[in-house]
Structure formats: C-alpha cells, structure tokens
Chains A and B, each alone.
Chain A
Amino acid sequence: MRFLMTTKGGSRTPDAAMMAEMGAFIEEMTKAGVLLATGGLEPGGLRMISSGGEITVTDGPFTEAKEAIVSFALIEARSREEAVELARRFWKIVGDGESAIQQVFGPEDGPEDGPGAGPR
C-alpha cells in the first residue's frame, strides 16, 4: 500500500544534529524501499480553484507559516499501522507538529479496499 504523508510544523530548530538524524532516517527508509519520494514544500504556494468552468489562481492563502516545516513523503508500507509507525519515528526527530497520512489508491485497490472497509 502506498501512503502520502504531508506534515506541518516541527518544533525542533533544524540544526546540524537534526539534519544528520533526518538524513540517516531518510537513507535507511530509502534503502529499505519504504520511502519512494520525499521533499520539503514551500509554505502556502499557489492555490487554484475551478468553479463553473472558471479557473482562479491566487497566492496563498497563507496560514501562520513562520518557520513551519512543510514536507511530504510517499511511502510503501504493508499496513496503515506501519505507516503510522514510520510517521512516529519521523516526529521523534523533528518534534511537535501535525501530519496527514492518506492511502494512495492504485489500480489494485478497488473501492471495497478503501479506508474503513477492512478489519480495523
């Protein structure tokens, strides 16, 4: 199963020690084939809205961006719990914040395999 994890926050100041820890973590996850893609994101970014055939592009709106780390990770995990466990390890490195974990559906995941349908 693939999951997309997006994160906001991170209370720890990104110093050399944290960067090293993060680097080692990312390397280990990449080698294990768990981490497929990852990267930092600009806070805010552009917003596009399609409404009634009309498309509007705006800057933001930005929330309190400040020094918040915004990033994403695409991971290949065997279960939802494994994804959570990986995210837990991530937060142990970067401190406080919040993340969203969403399964990325592939062609093999019919709607019946969607969230909520399996044994929870």
Chain B
Amino acid sequence: MDAHRVVDAVWKMESARIVAGLARMAGDVGLAEELAQDAVLAALEQWPEAGVPDNPGAWLMAVAKRRAVDHLRREERRDRGQERLAHDLATRPDDGERDVDDVVDALDGEVGDDVLRLMFVSCHPVLSTEARVALTLRLIGGLRTDEIARAFLVSESAVAQRIVRAKRALADAHVPFEVPAGPERAARLSSVLEVIYLVFNEGYAATAGDDLMRPSLCLEALRLGRVLAELTSDEAEVHGLVALMELQQSRSAARTGPSGEPVVLHEQNRGRWDPLLIRRGFAALLRARQAGGPLGPYVLQAAIAACHARAATPEETDWPQIAALYEALVRVLPTPVVQLNRAVALAMAYGPRAGLTLVDTLTGEPALTGYHLLPAVRGDLLARLGRHDEALAEFERAASLTRNSAERAVLLRRAATCAAKAGEAEKAEEAEQEATEAGPAEGDVTLGRAMGLFLARPDLSADTVRSYNQTLTRLCRHLGEDAPIRDVTSHRVAEVFAAAWGTAAAATWNRHRAALRSFATWAAERGWAAAGLAAPLDRRPEPRPRIRPIDRSRLESLWKRPDIPLRERTLWLLLYESAAPAEWALSLNVEDLDLPGMRGEVKARGHWLRWQSGTAALLPLLVGDRRRGPLFLADRRPGPGRMPATADLCPHTGRGRLSYERAEYLFKRATGDLDPEGGGSTLHRLRHSRLAHLGEEGWSARMLMSLSGHASARTLHGFVRVPRPADTVA
C-alpha cells in the first residue's frame, strides 16, 4: 500500500486526539497543529522503510511531543503552559517508542475533553464562519488543505490563508483552550453545531459532476456530530443535530434522478432510503428526548425528518403532526423560510387553501425576495386548487430565480403542465357542456369516457384527482373501460369493491367509497348511470381515540378557584364557551375583538369565534387599556435571541404572545388534581368537553360544527346523539 495514503488514513483517524492533546499542553492550537504536522512528515519519511508501527496513533503522538520539547528548548519561551509541557516531558524517561503506550495511556482519560475543547476553540466567535469551518475540518476532521479547497470550490491557497489567519486570530485574542461554562457555553455550543450543520449542508448541496470531495462533506459532518454527541451526551440539541443529519443522509441515494436532477421528497423511491441511517437517526432522536429540556430547532427539525422517515409511502405521512412540529419550530426559529415550510405542511395536512393563506402573508417578506421556493410553493398550491393560470406564472417566476439548472428544468416542466391543464380545463368545460347538452341521447357513454370527463373537472384539486383516479382506474380495470356506464350495476360495483378493498383498513374503504359516490352522483345527474350506484356500499366506522370529557361539576369548581390568574381563567372559559381550538383563541388580537357582539375574528382562518357571558365578563378586565396586539400575553418579555414576529408582540407591554405549550402546561398544572392519573388535562380535552356537554344537551352536528370550527361532522361523532348525515336543526 502507498505509505502516503496509509499515513493520511491514520492521520484522519487520529488528528483530533493528537492535536487536542498537544493543544492542551501547549496552550496554543496553532503550535499544536504545526507540531502534529511535523510528526506526519516524520511518518512519511519513516513508515515506507520501517513499516507502519503497531500503534500508529501513539507513534504520531510521541513524535509530536518530542518535537514539542525540541521546539520549546529552542525557543526558550516563558509561557506558563509551555513550561509545564517542557517539564512534563523532560522529566519523563524518554527511552524511545517503548513508553509510547504509557504516554498515550496517561492522556487517555482527558483525550475526550481535549477534543471537545478543540471543537469549541475551532468554532470560536472571533473567527469568521469560513475560518471556523476550515479550521474544524482541518483540526478535527484531519482534512488536508487541498481537500477542503476542493470541497468548497475555492483555491487551495485561499484555504491555507484562512487557516493561517484563523490560528493567528486565536493566538492574538488569547483564546484559552477550554470549554466555557455558564451561559457562554450554550452560545458557543450552538456555534459548534452551526459549523457542523454548515459543513453538512455544503455537502448536501453538491450536484452531479462536482468533485467527490463535496458530497463526502456530509459524512464528515456526521462524524463530527457523532463525536460531539459522545462528548456532550446531555445536550439534546447535539443529538438533535445528529438525528437530523442521519435522517437527511439516509435519503441521499434517492435525492437525485438518473441524470442528476433533484427528486422531491414525495416522489423519492423510499426503497432507496438507507434503513441503517434511519435507525441511527431514530436512536439519536431518542437520546435527544431523553436528554430533556425544551425542544430546540435541531430536535424539532429532526422530529420532522423522522415523520417522513416513518412513512413507508408519501400517503402515510403524518402531515398534521408535521404541521404541529413546524408550528413549534416557528416559535424557536421564526424565519420566513420556516414559515414557508410550515405552509407546505399545513397544505398537506389541511388542504392547499390552508397553506396558501399563510404563503400569501409571506410574499412581502424582504428575506424571501428572490427566493425561488416561495413562488414554487405558491405555484404548487395554486395548481392544486385548480388555478392553473396563476400557478403557471408562479412556476415561471420560480424558474427564473433558481440558479440550479436541474431545478429550473423541473419548474419549467411544471409550468408547461399548468399551461396544458389550463387549456384542458377549458376544453373539459366545453366537452362537458356538449355532453350535458347532448343529454340522454348519449346513451352509450363508456365507463372510461365518463371517468375521463369526471376527472377533468376544473374544480377538483390535483390531490383529489389523484385519489379519485386510483378508485376509478381499479373500477375500469375490473368492469372494462369500454363497458357502457348504463350497464354497470350497483351489484357489480359492490363486488369489485369487496374484492379490491374488502379487507383494507376502514379509512381506505371509506376513501374509495367517497370517490365512487362522487362519481356516481355526477354520472347520475347527467342521466348516464343509474342512480344509487354506490348505494350498497356502507360507510365503515373508523376507530378514533375517544377523549373523555371533563365533568361539568369539576369545571364549575375550576372557574371558581381563587388562585387562578385572570389570563388563564379568561382563556379557559373562552375555550370552553366557544369550543374553538386553542390555537385560534391564542391567535386572537385585541383589535379583532367585538366585545359587544361577544365574538372575535380569527383572521388566519376567516372564522368568528363566539363566546358567552362568562368570558364576556372577564375580557374587559384582561384587555384593560390595550388597543392592539395579542390578547393573551406571555409572562415575560422575550429575550433578544428569541424575538418573535411583530404581529406577536404587544405594542403596549413589549411582551410576546402566550404560546400553546405554555398555555397547555398551565392548564395541565391546574387540572392535575382533577385527573386520576395526575397528569392534568389538555386544552384539547377542555374543548371537547364543551362539545360533549352540548351534545348531551341535544345540539346537532351542524350546530356544533358552526360553533367549533370542526371541518368535518365525522370528527364530531360521539358528541351528538343522532349522528346521521341528514341531521338537521329540529
């Protein structure tokens, strides 16, 4: 084997420990690195002749130390740390390599701490971000200057300069070789995490044709993260970052298509995701949870990545959970980009309209000007709403903004699809008009043709079309595309259903049933098919975890408790009386209230939240002199690092909006004694208690829906006495 390559491999494995050990003794990272480099040169001279020593790491360390002693004697410097090093080494019997193991053993206990110190110093804030990255890769990753240069697409001399300047800056600033304590530790740790994630992202951004060094940055970052996680096992965010990187890296094989084009998450072949890395990611996330503490940005992002990793197919993705995690992420990382991602999650969870509402609030964000993903996302949502003309314009704008040519191609293709769809929709409308006008004369409409016309309706979103298409394609396959729809009987349809989905989950069965019912109604309206084609198919009950209501008497006593502060009392009563989701209540602003009308507008939803006399009596006290800003305020002003958006800040007091987590915690704490398990009740349960109580009083599903904002009557089953779809206000 080429000795150069062997030395390089050993150096990469050992550099962090060697440089760290030397730096602790010398008190100077730059000097330590030079000494270590001397040892590498010695290895390059000696190993080809003498062979690779038994313990190459210890060999390098011993040589570096001998150089250190020489160096110190020559320089005769009086630095305290170096005096100690000179003394330390000079008094040790130096009888060649036999004591090498002892030397290293003596250090072993501290090596881990030294590596951690080295990481903190390499990412010190006196250095520019580029310098931090270069120094970390150089000292801890053991990368050569030319490797760093190739990875970051810059010249070798530029990297060498960066490293020289960084070492000088550390020496000039007298940065001590230590891990800071107290509040500084948290800030410095987040700088280390930032550097590691930056390295990872640089590798992630590599495209086909790039130097192979670039994608390998991902693995380098993973290594750094794993080592850091071992050294700081009680830091949730460190494990969170490792989990995030493992999970993102698990998708690396599926991220690009055969010609190097990017493949978006939901179109990736999940069979190519690396189960080994997914498992490592889950394990790291678990360690993050065990470390405890509030959920930080890396843990939350990892939890989102885990939601994707858990879904065997895109359809199984738990979008409501992801939307909730983004909601939490927005609180700790309130950037427009996170908001944009949240909008995507909302759209997936609750439909394109929900996402579009949020995206539309972001179009004015200066930070997103020129960011191609904003129009790309907006275009996607518009397309799913069937607004193809607008979508077309957005995709074209996105294509003009991206710098990645593969991505541009994808966007232009989507724009072209929109143009075609916009045309098709017009044609379909015409065709439908024709078909309708032709009326019953069209006695021989085939199943295939009817299906095509049905799916071309402009009012169906892309998702709906995809879902309906699954059902109808299966039907066509069994009954024949050319079969006249008139001859299709409900009996035959039921047979196909039983064969295809008879044993599927209730939700699957119900989805296909809904698709068929929609199609059957549409076809019957045109006089093409017999009415009641879907009639024999029964809706199947879907298991749904029941939430037990809280007893009325217990709630009554809760309202009366004297120790409950005004804010909590108002919020809880409001939630109970309005039966609205807690997020809605918390999003209320003072200026949105209509106190005499006993209602407030949830702007983001366009929904009015209505309360009753209990809340009405408390609200004026809570509002006081305030005229604008969040209705429910946090206890304290936000810290400088956690500044929320202006809309979430009270202009009168400077305090932020009360968070869901905090509100939930307060309610749980107050209701701990109501709960047999002692854990307290959730705000969600409070809301559902109201619905249950109203249901007992005979409210209909429709009345409850209009009160509570539940989107579907199905989620209200169990609250109303007569859960029939035809339930009407008596």
Nearest CB on B from A67, distance (A)? 26
In A34-60, which residues have CB < 8 Å from any B CB?
Answer: 36-37
B153 near A: Cβ within 8 Å?
no
A78 touches B12 (CB 8 A): yes
B223 touches A32 (CB 8 A): yes
Query: In the complex the two chains form, what is the Cα distance from A54 to B189 in whole Å?
Result: 61
B226 touches A85 (CB 8 A): no
B8 touches A79 (CB 8 A): yes
B216 touches A78 (CB 8 A): yes
In B194-228, which residues have CB < 8 Å from any A CB?
Answer: 212, 215-216, 219, 222-223, 226-227
B276 touches A37 (CB 8 A): yes
0/1 interface trace, chain A 14-42, chain B, CB 8 Å (1 if under): 00000000000000000111001100000
A106 touches B253 (CB 8 A): yes
A31 touches B230 (CB 8 A): yes
Which residues of chain A are within 8 angstroms of B441 by Cβ–Cβ distance?
none
B711 near A: Cβ within 8 Å?
no
Q: How many residues of A contact B (CB 8 A)?
A: 20
Query: In the complex the two chains form, what is the Cα distance from A85 to B216 in whole Å?
Result: 20
A98 near B: Cβ within 8 Å?
no
> Among the listed A33, A74, A84, A120, which residue makes an inter-chain contact with B223, where contact means beta carbons less than 8 Å apart?
A33
B13 near A: Cβ within 8 Å?
yes
A92 touches B6 (CB 8 A): no
Query: In the complex the two chains form, what is the Cα distance from A33 to B243 in whole Å?
Result: 12
Which residues of chain B are within 8 angstroms of A79 by Cβ–Cβ distance?
5, 8-9, 12
Prevailing SS type, chain B contact patch:
helix
0/1 interface trace, chain A 74-107, chain B, CB 8 Å (1 if under): 1010111110110000001000000000000011
Given that A32-B226, A82-B9, A120-B2 are contacting pairs, would A108 and B215 also be in contact in the complex, using a CB cutoff of 8 Å? yes
Nearest CB on B from A72, distance (A)? 14
Which residues of chain A are within 8 angstroms of B227 by Cβ–Cβ distance?
31-32
A108 touches B252 (CB 8 A): yes
Given that A32-B226, A107-B272, A120-B2 are contacting pairs, would A81 and B9 also be in contact in the complex, using a CB cutoff of 8 Å? yes
A85 touches B13 (CB 8 A): yes
Which residues of chain A are within 8 angstroms of B13 by Cβ–Cβ distance?
82, 85
B222 touches A33 (CB 8 A): yes
> Whose C-beta in chain A lies nearest to the C-beta of B12?
A78
Which residues of chain A are within 8 angstroms of B280 by Cβ–Cβ distance?
33
In B1-56, which residues have CB < 8 Å from any A CB?
Answer: 1-2, 5-6, 8-10, 12-13, 54, 56
> Whose C-beta in chain B lies nearest to the C-beta of A82?
B9
Which residues of chain A are within 8 angstroms of B2 by Cβ–Cβ distance?
81, 120
Size band of the interface chain B makes with A: 20 to 34
> Whose C-beta in chain B lies nearest to the C-beta of A118?
B212
> Among the listed B6, B54, B230, B253, which residue makes an inter-chain contact with A108, where contact means beta carbons less than 8 Å apart?
B253
Which residues of chain B are within 8 angstroms of A37 by Cβ–Cβ distance?
276
Nearest CB on B from A36, distance (A)? 5
> Whose C-beta in chain B lies nearest to the C-beta of A78?
B12
Query: In the complex the two chains form, what is the Cα distance from A76 to B249 in whole Å?
Result: 13
Query: In the complex the two chains form, what is the Cα distance from A33 to B564 in whole Å?
Result: 51
Which residues of chain B are within 8 angstroms of A80 by Cβ–Cβ distance?
5
> Whose C-beta in chain B lies nearest to the C-beta of A81?
B9
Query: In the complex the two chains form, what is the Cα distance from A81 to B9 in whole Å?
Result: 6
A78 touches B253 (CB 8 A): no
Which residues of chain B are within 8 angstroms of A32 by Cβ–Cβ distance?
223, 226-227, 230
Nearest CB on B from A80, distance (A)? 8
B8 touches A81 (CB 8 A): yes
B276 touches A36 (CB 8 A): yes
> Whose C-beta in chain B lies nearest to the C-beta of A2?
B276
> Whose C-beta in chain B lies nearest to the C-beta of A107?
B253
> Whose C-beta in chain A lies nearest to the C-beta of B272?
A107
Most chain B beta carbons < 10 A, residue from A31, A37, A84, A85: A85
Query: In the complex the two chains form, what is the Cα distance from A33 to B9 in whole Å?
Result: 16
> Among the listed A82, A106, A107, which residue makes an inter-chain contact with B12, where contact means beta carbons less than 8 Å apart?
A82
Which residues of chain A are within 8 angstroms of B219 by Cβ–Cβ distance?
76, 78
Query: In the complex the two chains form, what is the Cα distance from A8 to B222 in whole Å?
Result: 31
B215 touches A85 (CB 8 A): no
A85 touches B222 (CB 8 A): no
> Whose C-beta in chain B lies nearest to the C-beta of A86?
B13
In B578-626, which residues have CB < 8 Å from any A CB?
Answer: none
B9 touches A78 (CB 8 A): yes
Which residues of chain A are within 8 angstroms of B54 by Cβ–Cβ distance?
92
Query: In the complex the two chains form, what is the Cα distance from A119 to B730 in whole Å?
Result: 84
B253 touches A85 (CB 8 A): no
In B36-89, which residues have CB < 8 Å from any A CB?
Answer: 54, 56
Query: In the complex the two chains form, what is the Cα distance from A106 to B255 in whole Å?
Result: 13
0/1 interface trace, chain B 378-417, chain A, CB 8 Å (1 if under): 0000000000000000000000000000000000000000
> Whose C-beta in chain A lies nearest to the C-beta of B10?
A85
Which residues of chain B are within 8 angstroms of A76 by Cβ–Cβ distance?
219
- 12 further interface pairs, Cβ-Cβ under 8 Å (given A32-B226, A120-B2): A32-B223, A32-B227, A76-B219, A79-B9, A79-B12, A80-B5, A81-B10, A84-B9, A85-B6, A85-B13, A108-B215, A108-B252
Closest 6 CB pairs of A and B: A81-B9, A33-B226, A82-B9, A107-B253, A81-B5, A31-B230
